Structure 1
Amino acid sequence: MNRTGELVEIVLPGKVEPEGLATRRGPVPAPGPGQVLIRTEATGVSFAEQQMRRGRYYDQPPFPFVPGYDLVGTVLTTGEGVDPALAGTRVAALVKVGGWASHVVADAADAVPVPAGIGAAEAETLVVNGVTAWQMLHRKARVRAGHTVVVLGANGGVGSVLVQLALAAGARVIGTASPRHHEALRAQGVLPVDYRADDLAARIRALAPRGADAVFDHVGGRGIVDSWRLLAPGGTLVSYGSASTRDAEGSKQWPVLKLLGRVWLWNALPNRRRACFYNVWAGRTLSRDRFRARLHADLTQVFAALGRGEVSARVAARLPLERAAEALRLAESGTVAGKVVLIP
Structure 2
Amino acid sequence: MSTEVNAEGLSAEGLVEIVLPGKVEPEGLQIRRGAVPAAGPGQIVIRMEATGVSFAEQQMRRGRYYDQPAFPFVPGYDLVGTVVATGEGVAPDLAGTRVAALVKVGGWASHVRVDAADAVEVPAGIGAAEAETLVLNGITAWQMLHRKARIRAGQTVVVHGANGGVGSVLVQLAHAAGVKVIGTASARHHDALRERGVTPVDYRTEDIAARIRELAPGGVDAVFDHVGGRGIVGSWRLLAPGGTLVSYGSASTRDDEGSKQWPVLKLLGRVWLWNALPNRRRAYFFNVWAGRALAKDRFRARLRADLTQVFAAHQRGDVTPQIAAQLPLAQVAEALRLAESGTVAGKVVLKP
TM-score range for the pair, normalised by the shorter chain length: over 0.9
Provide the rounded CA distance (Å) in 1 between the counterparts of 2:107 and 2:338.
18
> Which residue, 298, 320, 325 being the options, matches 1:312?
320
Aligned position for 2:16: 8
Alignment of 1:259-278 (within 5 A): 259-278=267-286
Shift of 1:335: 1.2
Aligned position for 1:92: 100
Q: Does 1:46 align with 2:54?
A: yes
> Which residue, 109, 112, 119 being the options, matches 1:104?
112
Provide the rounded CA distance (Å) in 1 between the counterparts of 2:77 and 2:103.
5
Q: Does 1:202 align with 2:210?
A: yes
3-state SS of paired residue (2:320): coil
Superposition TM-score, scaled by structure 2 size:
0.97
Q: Does 1:213 align with 2:215?
A: no
Provide the rounded CA distance (Å) in 2 between the counterparts of 1:128 and 1:316.
15
Alignment of 1:92-171 (within 5 A): 92-171=100-179
Provide the rounded CA distance (Å) in 2 between the counterparts of 1:5 and 1:72.
19
> Which residue, 239, 242, 249 being the options, matches 1:231?
239
Aligned residues of 1:2 and 1:102 also touching (Cα < 8 A): no
Q: CA RMSD for the aligned pairs?
A: 0.8
Q: Does 1:37 align with 2:45?
A: yes
Shift of 1:4: 4.8
Matched letter for residue 203 of structure 1: R
Provide the rounded CA distance (Å) in 2 between the counterparts of 1:59 and 1:3.
32
> Which residue, 323, 330, 348 being the options, matches 1:340?
348
Matched letter for residue 239 of structure 1: S
Matched letter for residue 309 of structure 1: G
Shift of 1:200: 1.3
Aligned residues: 344
Aligned position for 1:83: 91
Q: Does 1:65 align with 2:64?
A: no
Shift of 1:130: 0.2
Aligned position for 2:307: 299
Aligned position for 1:283: 291
Provide the rounded CA distance (Å) in 1 between the counterparts of 2:90 and 2:198.
45
Provide the rounded CA distance (Å) in 1 between the counterparts of 2:281 and 2:342.
33
> Which residue, 174, 177, 187 being the options, matches 2:182?
174
Aligned position for 2:191: 183
Matched letter for residue 84 of structure 2: L
Provide the rounded CA distance (Å) in 2 between the counterparts of 1:61 and 1:3.
27
Provide the rounded CA distance (Å) in 2 between the counterparts of 1:17 and 1:53.
8
Structure 2 gaps of 5+ residues are 1-8
Aligned residues of 2:275 and 2:283 also touching (Cα < 8 A): yes
Aligned residues of 2:10 and 2:330 also touching (Cα < 8 A): no
Shift of 1:199: 1.8
Matched letter for residue 180 of structure 2: R
Q: Which runs of 4+ in 1 moved over 3 A?
A: 1-5
Aligned position for 1:324: 332
> Which residue, 249, 252, 265 being the options, matches 1:241?
249
Shift of 1:318: 1.0
3-state SS of paired residue (2:123): coil
Shift of 1:3: 3.8
3-state SS of paired residue (1:106): strand
Aligned position for 1:26: 34
Shift of 1:2: 4.3
Aligned residues of 1:69 and 1:128 also touching (Cα < 8 A): yes
Structure 1 gaps of 5+ residues are none
| Partner deviation per Cα, 1:90-119 (whole Å, 9 max, x = no partner) | 000000000000000000000000000000
Aligned residues of 1:35 and 1:79 also touching (Cα < 8 A): yes
| Partner deviation per Cα, 1:214-267 (whole Å, 9 max, x = no partner) | 000000001101100100000000000000000000000000000000000000
3-state SS of paired residue (1:122): helix
| Partner deviation per Cα, 1:151-208 (whole Å, 9 max, x = no partner) | 0000010011000000000000000000000111111111100112362111111111
Superposition TM-score, scaled by structure 1 size:
0.99
Provide the rounded CA distance (Å) in 1 between the counterparts of 2:82 and 2:10.
16
